[in-house]
Amino acid sequence: MIRSAVLPGWGQWTNGQRFKSVLVFGAELALAGNAAYQNRLAQRSTTLDEREFYKNNRSQSVWWFAAVYFLNLADAYVDAQLWHFDAGPNLSGGIDPNLKGRVVISYAF
């Protein structure tokens, strides 16, 4: 979680979830870039309505950035805590020669 706090997506990368890491980093980068772009447009706008429009878009990008950032931290923490947890059932099947060709499916906890 600390790694994801320093660089968004680093915690997911460490936990072996490469695709999610790239997705989180790209989302954070895009939202930060959009906020900076909207701020630049707000500074260059000539009317009050345009300025308010761009400021609202900038604020919305900042809020989404914060939401993605904290979800990134929570995901990295949960994934690290469940690193060794086996979520998959042990399903196996095969042909047992003692049962004259019948298929045996077993389920184990």
Q: How confident is the model at residue 16 (pLDDT cuts 50, 70, 90)?
A: confident
- CA angle 2–5–7, rounded 5-degree value: 110
Range of the domain at 73: 2-108
Give the torsion through C-alpha atoms of 46, 47, 51, 53, to 10 deg: -130
How far is residue 38's CA from residue 53's CA, in Å, rounded to a whole number?
9
Assess whether pLDDT exceeds 80 at residue 90: no
C-alpha span between 39 and 28 (Å, rounded):
17
> Which pTM does this prediction carry?
0.69
Total domain count, the chain: 1
Q: What is the pLDDT of the chain when averaged over all its residues? A: 84
